[in-house]
């Protein structure tokens, strides 16, 4: 019989921090590579979305510290982010196979 480990509030908050950080990085990245006829307004919208996500990440860091925890300092290596990256790599491989 396997026993699922319960996560703590601090672990959940750090997972949310990793997700917010990943979202912020993605929106910022997309704002920089946006191109095409509607690029300037799209780029600005994505840049604003990135700022919102950084603000969310900052709020989570503050709450983790208030609760006596330590915010993760390397969100890219967090399990949630790694799982997302693996899933995306699989999707990219599927897309590449379809295009071949």
Residues that bind Fe ion (CB under 5 A): 20, 53, 56
Give the whole-angstrom CA distance, residue 70 versus residue 67.
9
Q: Which of residues 12 and 92 has its CB atom nearest to Fe ion in the complex?
A: 12
State the minimum distance, in angstroms, from the CB of residue 62 to Fe ion.
14
Q: What tokens were used for 3?
A: 């026993």
State the minimum distance, in angstroms, from the CB of residue 79 to Fe ion.
19
State the minimum distance, in angstroms, from the CB of residue 99 to Fe ion.
32
Q: Which of residues 20 and 50 has its CB atom nearest to Fe ion in the complex?
A: 20
Nearest-CB residue for Fe ion: 56
Write out the DSSP string of 18-54. HHHHHHHHHHHHHHHH--STTHHHHHHHHHHHHHHHH
Q: What tokens were used for 98?
A: 């379809």
């Amino acid at each position: 019989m396997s026993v699922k480990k319960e996560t703590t509030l601090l672990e959940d908050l750090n997972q949310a921090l990793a997700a917010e950080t990943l979202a912020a990085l993605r929106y910022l990245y997309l704002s920089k590579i946006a191109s095409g006829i509607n690029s300037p307004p799209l780029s600005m919208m994505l840049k604003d979305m990135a700022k919102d996500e950084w603000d969310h990440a900052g709020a989570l860091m503050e709450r983790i510290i208030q609760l006596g925890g330590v915010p993760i300092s390397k969100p890219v290596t967090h399990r949630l982010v790694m799982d997302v990256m693996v899933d995306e790599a699989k999707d990219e491989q599927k897309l590449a196979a379809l295009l071949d």
